Amino acid sequence: MAGLAGRRVLVVEDETLVAMLVEDTLADAGVVVLGPVATVAEALALLGSDRPDLAVLDLNLAGETSEPVADALVRMGVPFVVASGYGASGVPARLSGVPVLAKPYAPEELTAALARLPTA
């Protein structure tokens, strides 16, 4: 997808197969993938040293909420999409304006959702 080529996208996903599929999908779209990372600590460490253009954030990381990562992205002004098996109902009210991809989603839904995000 031309609008994503060269963009730096942080991927926060704890399921290895899903993370690999997301990484492959984004690489095929010409994206520079940061991560994927599977924990809040890894994501926050990466954000401490690198600034993505966009992010894909799984809210439930092996039972740990990734809300601290979402809050950091908001503070940094980095647009992101939430990928959740719970759909929009699993998103905290303060993040209600963030686009949600309900799992499972097709690769083209991911790239389309990222392409619709504003430029940081």
CATH of the domain at 80: 3.40.50.2300
Residues 8-51 have pLDDT tens digits of 999 999 999 999 999 999 999 999 999 999 999 999 999 999 99
Q: How many domains does the chain have?
A: 1
For the residues 74-79, what does the mean pLDDT come to? Answer: 96
Q: Does the pTM exceed 0.85?
A: yes
CA angle 68, 54, 81 (to 5 degrees): 65
Question: What domain range is 37 assigned to?
Answer: 2-116
**pLDDT recorded at residue 85:** 82
Nearest to 34, CA basis, from 69, 65, 64: 69
**pLDDT recorded at residue 78:** 97
Q: Is residue 101 within 8 Å of 111, Cβ to Cβ?
A: no
